[in-house]
Chain A
């Protein structure tokens, strides 16, 4: 299996744990990731909220590069995935828009690419193939699986049930982990409001952390750098603001898959989180 891989800006900076663990897990599972040469920013939230055309054009250029590679595309960052997939759907459904965008980018995209989240790519694999490579059990983990908003919305590109997604739960359950029924699976973490109005993010993160804790979680798993950022880095700030004492490590799902496959914690950047993961790592046997 070979995919054109779009890491996105986060994965090269604040979420390099996600990038590194994704590459490590894919290598172990026999998924070949070819980083798209000369990829550029997907525009993220500022791009499409400023201009519809800009948002699509930024992703369209990347899609055109993928088309030249003759591969399907995957992205690890949930926001990058969403932008690429959305641009893909819109251009495929609207030939006029497609022409306009191609004129803007000067790099014609004909619509021949499939865009998948890295979560989909791994979850769609034959699970017995993954299980054959598993060397460690996640059975002591009680995980609040957090999907955030971008994997399941909007309807055109959602990869699972928008109200009760289970794709990541199923993957982790197959690796032996216990995943919990909880309320905040798809509730917003506040996302990029962290830049302009941190209070909102703290409030929302507090709700998510509180519900995960009351559901009995000993860690949270995400598939989105921004979710991770808001829940991991800001957890101490939440504790301060709301006088709470959460100590819930927040993992990327690739990190847990990597651990199950026997990849060393250092190689998955598990020491790089703000909330110490040591006590959870001890539970993996």
Chain B
């Protein structure tokens, strides 16, 4: 005879304020198999859990029903609780009477209570049909893959490597460094950005535990937590890096000049190049689209001048395969392409309207102008510089609804730099709100305004030309007046958006993105660096707009998550997975087609039939890959697949309890 205990939680007033918990506990006591039923104010608290443990022992309970909040919140908590009392942790059922009753029916306490009673009846009916489940274990490959070599990827890789584990850092560009190394100074301390990031880049290159793969992209990811197999394509660089010494003769002599991506088209680079002097690896690549030898079979100068014979025009893309136990996504961000959306700011046709990142390159001592702020149109020093914030941010009509978080601060930094570098310069900042939540941030903003930057609250409606200057028309919504500012240079703070290929990468790796294309974390508060796919972690702006401190903090957090995983030799696998009854499976493999996790494979079994041994195909569930979604159980025509913990009998018992 099964002995069920029911524990009804008040959740403070969350449930107790609506549902008649005392009545619910009393009614539950009358259900079959229930031998103990109580209500309690905070069941998840330490005394609450002790009460459950004590009750299990005192009343010899072998099944437990908790009527409380969503199982998403505390199912694990209560599983551990009953395990402490010696019960199998899977002999637990939760009736969600908070989200499903008190919260949605708060105006109708009577009906909410009736519904709660039904839900508990359902839970009791199921719990008596549950069977003990046991966790299996999966081996773990103690090597991590970090996708993206910006500051987030670098920090994660270094932290994991310092903890003694092997890391593969994969970057699609010829160098690591990402966006941070393009910046001039970092707010609020005004440290030199490259002075912070380039030593870390070198540390990556020299770390014995880090394997650095540049010019690489992920092609395919298979496997599951602890056991991923990743196929990577390494694009041809046409330079043999084992021979190259990075002497620089090749790019000095290369005759072909093209706009530099690193300097955002503000300067030129050669067709064989390193993106910037401190690049890691500090060896060149040939840009196949622009190389005259590779496109027209002419030139070949670099090969002639290379003293070590490192140039190899025949080099082909290579395919690599790596085994890893965890993957950290650090694919970063791009800037919103304002020129396609903002006709009122000139669609990118005025050369003196630039983006914040272009300004960073310009004000950078190693940038295209050697740190001098100039007008791109005529090279003159600007006197009036207008900054426009929220270009593409907080603009549902033309851009993105969200706030891009870093722009208020970097615009304050830029305004400060204009005032600092150009005598008698004026900086005007058009803003919607100024948001400076961060240590030392508000003080930094105040310093900028104290220095004389003029903040004007209102959007810019239009940028016009006025002779060789620009005329910025906008509103001052504090004065309730239209304003026009003559500007020599306009700097737009454009929104952060996910990297162009981020969505494809997410699909390859096997997790989801949010409505804006950023990577979806498992829970914004409780699991901010994890995804809903076990073993995949997030770092930096691929998850949402962030500044450098937040990015680095999250990157280290992701590294810790990886180290936690690697701290065990084997890991427990959730036992609530599908299982195939091979005796009735007839091998149609309809389940394989619907499985989103590629967890079902065909298996040949041999069995005796009428004195003969025959071979036939059946479905087999890889319990490491199975996430327990249950799609296969629905697709199975012969009813051979069952989800453990959600078998047909258990679900039918629930339906009967509610409907009959």
Contact = CB atoms under 8 A, between A and B. Distances in A.
Contacts of A161: 343
A95 interface: no
A164 B343 contact: yes
Interface string A159-170: 001111000000
Interface size class of B (residues with CB under 8 A): under 10
A164 B347 contact: yes
Nearest to A184: B464
A162 B464 contact: no
A211 B467 CA distance: 10
A190 to B, nearest CB: 15
B390 to A, nearest CB: 18
A182 to B, nearest CB: 9
For the complex of A and B, list the 4 residue pairs with the smallest distance between their C-beta atoms, beginning with the closest. A163-B343, A183-B464, A164-B343, A163-B344
B347 A163 contact: yes
15 contacts: A161-B343, A162-B343, A163-B342, A163-B343, A163-B344, A163-B347, A164-B343, A164-B347, A183-B464, A183-B465, A183-B466, A183-B471, A184-B464, A211-B464, A214-B467
B395 to A, nearest CB: 14
Nearest to A207: B464
A244 to B, nearest CB: 16
Interface in A150-166: 161-164
Contacts of A184: 464
A283 B319 CA distance: 68
Given A163-B347, A164-B347, A211-B464, 11 more contacts: A161-B343, A162-B343, A163-B343, A163-B344, A164-B343, A183-B464, A183-B465, A183-B466, A183-B471, A184-B464, A214-B467
A214 B467 CA distance: 8
A163 B467 CA distance: 20
Nearest to A187: B462
Contacts of B464: 183-184, 211
A255 to B, nearest CB: 28
Interface string B440-468: 00000000000000000000000011110
Nearest to A161: B343
Interface of B: 342-344, 347, 464-467, 471
Nearest to A183: B464
A164 B466 CA distance: 17
Interface in A196-231: 211, 214
Contacts of A163: 342-344, 347
A183 B467 CA distance: 11
Interface string A176-190: 000000011000000
Q: Which of A161, A162, A163, A211 has the most CB of B within 10 A?
A: A163
A127 B632 CA distance: 60
Interface string A113-151: 000000000000000000000000000000000000000
A214 B465 CA distance: 11
A39 to B, nearest CB: 35
Contacts of A164: 343, 347
A138 B344 CA distance: 30
A211 B465 CA distance: 9
A164 B348 CA distance: 12
Contacts of B343: 161-164
A183 to B, nearest CB: 4
A161 B467 CA distance: 25
Contacts of B342: 163
Contacts of B471: 183
B131 to A, nearest CB: 57
Contacts of B344: 163
A200 to B, nearest CB: 12
Contacts of A162: 343
Interface string A16-34: 0000000000000000000
A164 B342 CA distance: 10
A183 B463 CA distance: 9
Nearest to A215: B465
A184 B462 CA distance: 11
Nearest to A162: B343
A164 B465 CA distance: 14
B511 to A, nearest CB: 36
A61 B343 CA distance: 37
A260 B464 CA distance: 32
B57 to A, nearest CB: 67
Contacts of A214: 467
A183 B464 CA distance: 6
A20 B347 CA distance: 38
A269 B342 CA distance: 40
A161 B346 CA distance: 12
A163 B464 CA distance: 12
A184 B466 CA distance: 11
A211 B552 CA distance: 50
B464 to A, nearest CB: 4
A184 B465 CA distance: 10
Contacts of B466: 183
A162 B344 CA distance: 9
A165 to B, nearest CB: 10
Contacts of A211: 464
A128 to B, nearest CB: 29
A164 B464 CA distance: 12
Nearest to B341: A163
Nearest to B464: A183
A161 B465 CA distance: 19
Nearest to B471: A183
A183 B470 CA distance: 11
Nearest to B397: A155
A214 to B, nearest CB: 8
Nearest to B344: A163
Contacts of A183: 464-466, 471
A31 B464 CA distance: 38
B457 to A, nearest CB: 23
